[in-house]
Amino acid sequence: MKHWTFLILRTAILTYFGLGLILFFMQNKYIYFPTNQDFYDCPGFEDAEKVNWQGTRMYVKQKTDRWIVMYHGNAGSACDRSYLKLEFEKLGYSYIFVEYAGYSNDNLEPSHEKLVKNVDAVIDYLGQFKPTSVAVLGESLGTALASYHAATAKVDKLLLIAAFNNLSDLAAYHYKVYQVKLLLRDKFPAEEWLAEAENVLFIHGAEDDIIPVEFGRRFYQGIKAGQKQFVEITGAGHNDIYDFSQTYEAIENYLK
């Protein structure tokens, strides 16, 4: 009996540590989900300029001196978010949709460091236009990058859709049996980057099971801001938040 107990215990321990090693060495596969979208062949941005600035690719269209920068989530591509350009154009904004390292048929491997460098390049590129106002929108993983942007350069309006305070806490929520805070390399500490903001709006789906609303509220409550607001969309999850008219109403009311 003791022999079988030992074998079962040993198997359980080896399995636990084996799965932990898999999580550690393959963690990027659980964070980043790029598609094979061709950056230069995006029907939604046929009328936009395809820019490569310091190795960072962007869809750009200049109409006015008011600019908005969009950082998308961890899945898909910037091309997938082209439907938002209609909202931005309607509100009188020039726009930049940022594509990340490792996305849209890029040969690089995405990482925290590379995505932060993407933001630095966007800030540098945008500066040449001398905008009269800058709005930054981030969704999901992009909310951390939008927060870094707002902490690094002047931003008049910051809009965070499905935000989290830091990736370590979120990962610990999803993988409770492992000390993921110690294992995680790409931490995206949004709350450390953005302790203060001039004007920020959070939008979050009440039924979001990927980034539960509590993580957005935790970030919201920790920010010192001149103006801040939290809009919770009843019935919305993570991937269907743009299916709700309340989401667009909140975006339009904030950006106009």
- The CATH number for 117's domain is 3.40.50.1820
pTM: 0.89
Same domain, 54 and 170: yes
Same domain, 111 and 13: no
Q: How far is the C-alpha of 128 from the C-alpha of 123, rounded, in Å?
A: 9
Same domain, 2 and 44: no
Same domain, 67 and 150: yes
| DSSP code for 241 | G
Q: How far is the C-alpha of 133 from the C-alpha of 94, rounded, in Å?
A: 10
| Domain region containing 2 | 1-31
pLDDT on residue 26: 55
Same domain, 63 and 189: yes
Residues 194-220: pLDDT tens digits? 988 889 999 999 999 999 999 999 999
Same domain, 112 and 168: yes
pLDDT on residue 170: 87
Can you tell me the mean pLDDT for 134-138?
98
pLDDT on residue 100: 98
Same domain, 106 and 179: yes
State the total domains in the chain.
Answer: 2
pLDDT greater than 60 at residue 25: no
Same domain, 41 and 26: no
Same domain, 26 and 143: no
CA-based end-to-end distance of the chain: 72
What type of residue sits at position 8?
I
Residues 67-105: pLDDT tens digits? 999 999 999 999 999 999 999 999 999 999 999 999 999
Same domain, 25 and 110: no
Same domain, 47 and 111: yes
